[in-house]
Amino acid sequence: MTPDETAAALTVVPGELDATVVELPGAPGHVAWWAAPSVLPDLGGAPHPHADLRLLDLGVATMLRNRVRRQDLYRTGVSRLRRVAAGLLLEELALAPTWAADVILPKADEERLTAWLRARLTLTWVVDDEQVAQHDAVAGLVGPAALDLPAAHEAEQRYVAVAGEKVPREAGVPFRRP
């Protein structure tokens, strides 16, 4: 698939998120997360060419299904999209980041964030075995993603800062998710 074909597939008008997630294959490819301009308005992002949306994140995945289901829609510790959203929604969703091996959210906070994201974001994807090699070319065609802009970096830093300083655990004391 050429970068032009990939960009065209990623800029179709997105469908309903839950239906799109069900269709995700276990193949490598590109994912594009889109939102209305009123969603997370502090972030920028390229406008969608066919809908009133803007690009939040353009990423690659070795397994599309896992990238979306097990990272972006599940765990803040492994998803930059979630960390940036959490940094912008700390007060609105009453999120309380804490330290484990990395900064994470308690389970109830993860669930609130997931519900918020599912209600407001949409997704396009395309299978592409050359996803890493073609990512820069595809990004140049689709436009800048909000997560590549300074406001996203600041939001992610805020998310980490709210967790406070990392306090070492005593040896032999297992971590328990709050």
Whether residue 70 is contained in a domain is answered as yes
C-alpha–C-alpha distance, residues 71 and 77, integer Å:
8
Whether residue 178 is contained in a domain is answered as no
Whether residue 177 is contained in a domain is answered as no
How many domains is the chain built from?
1
Query: What domain range includes position 73?
Result: 3-162
Return mean pLDDT, the chain. 91
C-alpha–C-alpha distance, residues 35 and 87, integer Å:
17
What average pLDDT does this structure show over 27-52? 95
Q: E strands of the chain, at which residues? A: 29-35, 54-61, 98-99, 103-104, 121-127
Whether residue 167 is contained in a domain is answered as no
Whether residue 169 is contained in a domain is answered as no
pLDDT higher than 80, residue 85: yes
pLDDT in tens, 45-77: 999 999 999 999 999 999 999 999 999 999 988
Structure tokens at 101: 């091996």
- Percent of the chain scoring above 70 in pLDDT: 93
The structure's pTM equals 0.90
pLDDT in tens, 129-154: 887 788 889 999 999 999 999 999 99
CA distance readout (Å), 130 to 15, 65, 137, 166: 25, 17, 11, 38
Owner of token pair 């609130």: 112
C-alpha–C-alpha distance, residues 117 and 133, integer Å:
29
Half-sphere exposure of 30 (CA within 13 A, CB side): 28
Whether residue 173 is contained in a domain is answered as no
Whether residue 71 is contained in a domain is answered as yes
Q: How confident is the model at residue 40 (pLDDT cuts 50, 70, 90)?
A: very high
C-alpha–C-alpha distance, residues 166 and 172, integer Å:
17
**pLDDT recorded at residue 173:** 57
Judged by DSSP in three states, 7 sits in: helix
> Count of H helices and E strands in the chain?
7, 5
Q: How many CB atoms lie within 10 A of CB 101?
A: 8
DSSP state of 13: P
Chain length of the chain: 178
- Beta carbons of 15 and 146 less than 8 angstroms apart: no
- pLDDT-wise least confident of 42-46, 101-105, 165-169: 165-169
Handedness of CA 32, 36, 42, 48 (dihedral sign): positive
Whether residue 172 is contained in a domain is answered as no
